[in-house]
């Protein structure tokens, strides 16, 4: 993905008077490039007639390169680059209690790199990109069951996701939002689902999720361990 990012002062100063809300002088001009490569391998073993194991791994690589095209006067060259790499294994065991009912247990790791927008501004207000921002990594464990009832499918699952270096907003001021890593977080919950096939062209899905999402570490004065993560609904229906 390629982005051409330009920024301008949101005012014009003439004859000792500020004309606010008017496009002013350029203050930023850069070309940002982000690309990724994610090779993976996966396999399945049928251990017994009722027990199966799925396993796999992915090596995720993300590269980011910024070319500063606004190097004027005291505004130095803020070009830079960053790369993020991570092995992400996953595995799942499934046991068929009956032909219509199975239970499963799965675990895996996840990887969330900063986006171009999240890298765009530094929390200290200095020029240049926020290359101090680190990727968030998570480990998820889930257990559940599925039942086939006629032409419908019911499901129940419980899950726990522990995340390190959660990416959160550090500050939002004058149209600029900067981000920081917030340490450890935890999301745990229960999900119920129903998938009903009424006819070849008619299908309905229902789902309800109870989710508890909290910070597990302090991160500055604003983020305290035990606080709920904002913007995440505790109950969700779909």
Number of domains the chain contains: 1
CA angle 133, 138, 139 (to 5 degrees): 165
Task: Tell me the CB-side half-sphere exposure of residue 138, using CA atoms within 13 A.
Answer: 18
d(Cα 40, Cα 157) in Å, to the nearest integer? 26
Q: Kindly state whether residue 121 falls inside one of the protein's structural domains.
A: yes
In a domain, 24, yes or no: no
Give the integer Cα–Cα distance in Å for 65 and 61: 14
Whether 71 maps to a domain, the answer reads yes
Asked if the structure places residue 20 within a domain, the reply is no
Residue recorded with tokens 């996966």: 42
Query: With contact defined as beta carbons under 8 Å apart, do 59 and 39 qualify?
Result: yes
SS3 readout for 213-226: EEECCCECCCECCC
User: Which pLDDT score, from 0 to 100, does residue 37 have?
Assistant: 96
Q: What pLDDT shows up at residue 124?
A: 84
Per-residue pLDDT of the chain (238 residues; tens, 9 = 90+): 888 888 888 888 888 888 888 888 888 888 989 999 999 999 999 999 999 999 999 999 999 999 988 888 777 888 889 999 999 999 999 999 999 999 999 999 999 999 988 988 888 878 788 989 999 999 999 999 999 998 999 999 999 999 999 998 888 877 788 999 988 999 999 999 999 999 889 999 999 999 999 998 877 667 788 889 888 889 999 8
Could you tell me if 193 and 211 are in contact, meaning their C-beta atoms sit under 8 angstroms apart? no
> Which pLDDT score, from 0 to 100, does residue 191 have?
98
Q: CATH number, domain at 132? A: 2.40.170.20
Exposed, middle or buried: residue 4 (CB in 10 Å: 0-12, 13-18, 19+)? Answer: exposed
Domain that holds residue 202: 34-237
How far from the centroid of its chain's Cα atoms is residue 71's Cα? 33
Cross-strand bridge partners of residue 98: 101
In a domain, residue 122? The reply is yes
Asked whether 91 and 133 are in contact (CB, 8 A), the reply is: no
> Is the separation of the CB atoms in 212 and 221 below 8 Å?
no
In a domain, 14, yes or no: no
User: What is the predicted pLDDT for the residue at 83?
Assistant: 94
Asked whether residue 21 is domain-assigned, the answer is no
């Amino acid at each position: 993905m390629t982005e051409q990012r330009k920024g301008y002062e949101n005012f014009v100063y003439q004859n000792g008077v500020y004309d606010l809300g008017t496009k002013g002088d350029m203050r930023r001009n850069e070309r940002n490039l982000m690309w990724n490569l994610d090779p993976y391998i996966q396999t399945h073993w049928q251990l017994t007639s009722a027990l199966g194991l799925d396993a796999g791994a992915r090596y995720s690589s993300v590269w980011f390169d910024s070319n500063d095209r606004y190097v004027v006067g005291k505004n130095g060259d803020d070009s830079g680059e960053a790369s993020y790499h991570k092995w992400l294994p996953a595995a799942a065991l499934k046991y068929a209690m009956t032909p219509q009912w199975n239970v499963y247990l799965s675990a895996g790791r996840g990887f969330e790199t900063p986006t171009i927008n999240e890298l765009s501004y530094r929390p200290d207000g200095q020029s240049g990109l926020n290359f101090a921002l680190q990727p968030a990594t998570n480990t998820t464990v889930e257990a559940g069951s599925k039942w086939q009832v006629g032409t419908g499918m019911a499901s129940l699952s419980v899950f726990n996701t522990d995340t390190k270096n959660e990416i959160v907003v550090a500050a939002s001021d004058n149209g600029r939002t900067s981000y920081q890593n917030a340490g450890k977080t935890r999301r745990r919950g229960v999900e119920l689902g129903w998938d009903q096939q009424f006819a070849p062209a008619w299908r309905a899905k229902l789902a309800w999720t109870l989710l508890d999402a909290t910070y597990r570490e302090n991160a500055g004065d604003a983020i305290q361990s035990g606080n709920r993560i904002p913007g995440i609904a505790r109950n969700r229906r779909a």
